[in-house]
Chains A and B, each alone.
Chain A
């Protein structure tokens, strides 16, 4: 049975914000973002390095300031009111911005090892060389080789397709040699159909390629999987185009450190997290667009720019309205211990000093309404129980545990409660044995809730968290894991069974797994018998 709680009316507050947006990176991606955003609000673009490819697109544009030779070295404040420190000609400067867009472009890197160690040259070009080169390919035979480098992304496929279509218009003889044609992105299927219709040859290969180079031609030798009896095919072209790998901009790690945003696979910006939109970082007000978070192609980039434009657009007027849903701190209980400040995955907490704050420090933690994502991790970490998350106050949660059934499952609303609903539809009898207590994140499950559930009559307790490394709030489920261990130890310390407490990692659609976990917990507590530590029987 899933108990939904009554939500109190939401209070809104209006905050002053800086409309100006900082774009870090002056490549074509950063420039495109700046142009779009500048339609609504002022933009400053800094180059951060030597890539100025986008400079010509934005120079002289109204609403855009370009500041070359500048590096971000520090960041304070919150969304709407970021204070960015720059290093400019050996001197520190500071400026306020409402939001930050990171656009440090990935760099292409030709890896000869992926093409049987062939060196690039006159007739053998990397994809990026090919794009930049302004040759006349009419009546020339051009072949693109896909599937050797950049295996994880489809941007090379997209680029090769669009280039092939364009070449066809110039009357070139174009082939695309592929192992596995990837078209799983917007418009790519159409591009593929169009290329076929225009007469691009699509040739499939299998196994290793051999690339041979002569002065007059470039030849690729491959195994053809469809034709019987033909073992090796030699494809002779005037030009051979080889896609490269994309690697994260070399400044990524440093900038991530300064902005305190997370990086993910292969050192690109952003975690590998299903809960995140492509442009999202772990901090509100800081966005990633383009290849800074992995290879990307035109249509995707355009969509990202549209999204980020809308996101930062809420600061354009200099004022923004925000729901006061962030946790509230009882200053009398706040020991200013910094635990919440350090644990917050979103950098949403500051320590404020104010004579009216009623403790010996006249200070307390404060959650910024624009930066906070309302996960409640801070309130579960607080050693003084000074932090309460609206709608999920300790009192509200413990109130649900007045007469718990056999099993209490504290469930993350991003996965657990959804899985529980599904599970209930599949096996209602089984789910009648449990009580689901919704929490915004498994990181909100206080160790105290687990003990209280047992103390008040449950025989077993479950923490239902998102899949590992896929916490919407970065590390809530990791903390939940740690708390399970802590509570187990505490139970074992008083001679009670630690495995009455367990954690389950599920995705929202895993109703069956959810039921499996319930079944196994029910079996476990049936075997253990009624919990002997119940205080209210």
Chain B
């Protein structure tokens, strides 16, 4: 899941300062699951904006709406009645949804209500941890199912650095050393020999600009 964190009210208030009527747009996808951009959060933010502006003596009208997913245009269409009526939109979707919404509703200005953080697992209520960096070249087969790209502070590929001690990362004692986890897992799997294997320099796939995936056999127009 994509994990996001709410932007500060201060930042959002600055973005919407010039406007008198806006829409706060939520998404029922990942951002609802990570408790930051669903209908509840839309309500809380909208209420916050209204009250802040009342306090300044500069009232604002805030509409609220949440759609299935902001990363698909078929769902974005559902905003059209309200979008037509406002001067700006604050989106609580991830960075993808925000951009797509801005693209579909140009020239209405669209502002981010969240900071998109990472791809992570939901370990418990209110706890998320980064598990994947979408590097485009998965190495989990070599590393016992634990990703060193996302979970090692230095994204090392050939074992822990010298700062790993007692299973913890040198950066922060509260962070597990990913390579120590990998070592323990491979040991448990009887695959310690994989620790000795050289993993060559990685193709970071950044050389062609933004990544795009087209599955030729699935596209509608050939």
- Is chain B in direct contact with chain A in the complex (CB below 8 A)? yes
A342 touches B40 (CB 8 A): no
In the complex, A493 has a CB within 8 A of chain B: yes
Q: Which residues of A contact B32 (CB under 8 A)?
A: 335, 337, 383-384
In the complex, residue of chain A having the shortest beta-carbon distance to the beta carbon of B45: A490
A335 touches B29 (CB 8 A): yes
Most buried by A among B10, B36, B47: B47
In the complex, A451 has a CB within 8 A of chain B: yes
A335 touches B44 (CB 8 A): no
In the complex, A10 has a CB within 8 A of chain B: no
Q: Which residues of B contact A494 (CB under 8 A)?
A: 9-10, 13, 48, 51-52, 55
In the complex, A319 has a CB within 8 A of chain B: no
A535 touches B55 (CB 8 A): no
The 0/1 profile, CB within 8 Å of A marked 1, for residues 30-58 of chain B is: 00110110111101100110111011000
Give the complex CA separation of A342 and B125 in angstroms.
7
B54 touches A533 (CB 8 A): yes
Give the complex CA separation of A491 and B32 in angstroms.
22
In the complex, B131 has a CB within 8 A of chain A: no
- In the complex, how many angstroms separate the beta carbon of A98 from the nearest chain B beta carbon? 30
A534 touches B40 (CB 8 A): no
Given A335-B28, A335-B29: A455 and B40 interface contact (C-beta under 8 Å): no
Given A360-B68, A494-B13: A451 and B125 interface contact (C-beta under 8 Å): no
Chain A 132-147 interface residues, beta-carbon cutoff 8 Å to B: none
Give the complex CA separation of A455 and B36 in angstroms.
21
B40 touches A384 (CB 8 A): yes
Given A382-B40, A383-B38, A493-B10: A535 and B51 interface contact (C-beta under 8 Å): yes
Checking B28, B35, B51, B69 against A451 with a beta-carbon cut-off of 8 angstroms, the contacting residue is B51
In the complex, residue of chain B having the shortest beta-carbon distance to the beta carbon of A490: B48
Give the complex CA separation of A386 and B13 in angstroms.
28
In the complex, A299 has a CB within 8 A of chain B: no
A532 touches B54 (CB 8 A): yes
Most buried by A among B28, B29, B66: B28
Q: Which residues of B contact A493 (CB under 8 A)?
A: 8-10, 48
In the complex, A94 has a CB within 8 A of chain B: no
A534 touches B54 (CB 8 A): yes
In the complex, A452 has a CB within 8 A of chain B: yes
In the complex, A454 has a CB within 8 A of chain B: yes
In the complex, B117 has a CB within 8 A of chain A: no
A385 touches B44 (CB 8 A): no
Give the complex CA separation of A385 and B47 in angstroms.
15
In the complex, A447 has a CB within 8 A of chain B: yes
B33 touches A335 (CB 8 A): yes
In the complex, A325 has a CB within 8 A of chain B: no
In the complex, A216 has a CB within 8 A of chain B: no
- In the complex, how many angstroms separate the beta carbon of A372 from the nearest chain B beta carbon? 19
Q: Which residues of A contact B124 (CB under 8 A)?
A: 342
Given A385-B40, A493-B8: A535 and B54 interface contact (C-beta under 8 Å): yes
In the complex, residue of chain A having the shortest beta-carbon distance to the beta carbon of B1: A337
A535 touches B68 (CB 8 A): no
A385 touches B9 (CB 8 A): no
In the complex, A338 has a CB within 8 A of chain B: yes
B38 touches A385 (CB 8 A): yes
- In the complex, how many angstroms separate the beta carbon of A292 from the nearest chain B beta carbon? 28
Q: Which residues of A contact B13 (CB under 8 A)?
A: 494
In the complex, A496 has a CB within 8 A of chain B: yes
In the complex, A448 has a CB within 8 A of chain B: yes
Q: Which residues of B contact A534 (CB under 8 A)?
A: 51, 54
The 0/1 profile, CB within 8 Å of B marked 1, for residues 521-535 of chain A is: 000000000001111
- In the complex, how many angstroms separate the beta carbon of B54 from the nearest chain A beta carbon? 5
Give the complex CA separation of A446 and B39 in angstroms.
13
B44 touches A451 (CB 8 A): yes
In the complex, residue of chain A having the shortest beta-carbon distance to the beta carbon of B72: A360
Given A384-B32, A385-B38: A359 and B68 interface contact (C-beta under 8 Å): yes
In the complex, A343 has a CB within 8 A of chain B: yes
In the complex, A213 has a CB within 8 A of chain B: no
Given A494-B52, A532-B55: A455 and B39 interface contact (C-beta under 8 Å): no
Given A447-B44, A495-B55: A455 and B50 interface contact (C-beta under 8 Å): yes
- In the complex, how many angstroms separate the beta carbon of A535 from the nearest chain B beta carbon? 5
Checking B10, B29, B39, B51 against A496 with a beta-carbon cut-off of 8 angstroms, the contacting residue is B51
A338 touches B122 (CB 8 A): yes
Checking B8, B10, B28 against A384 with a beta-carbon cut-off of 8 angstroms, the contacting residue is B28
Checking B8, B9, B43, B54 against A448 with a beta-carbon cut-off of 8 angstroms, the contacting residue is B43
- In the complex, how many angstroms separate the beta carbon of B147 from the nearest chain A beta carbon? 23
Q: Which residues of B contact A123 (CB under 8 A)?
A: none
A451 touches B40 (CB 8 A): no
In the complex, A109 has a CB within 8 A of chain B: no
Give the complex CA separation of A455 and B38 in angstroms.
20
The 0/1 profile, CB within 8 Å of B marked 1, for residues 428-470 of chain A is: 0000000000000000001110011011000000000000000
A533 touches B51 (CB 8 A): yes
Give the complex CA separation of A448 and B38 in angstroms.
13
Q: Which residues of A contact B120 (CB under 8 A)?
A: none
Q: A496-B55, A533-B50 are in contact. List 9 more A-B contacts (CB 8 A).
A: A337-B33, A338-B122, A339-B125, A342-B124, A382-B40, A383-B36, A383-B39, A383-B41, A448-B47
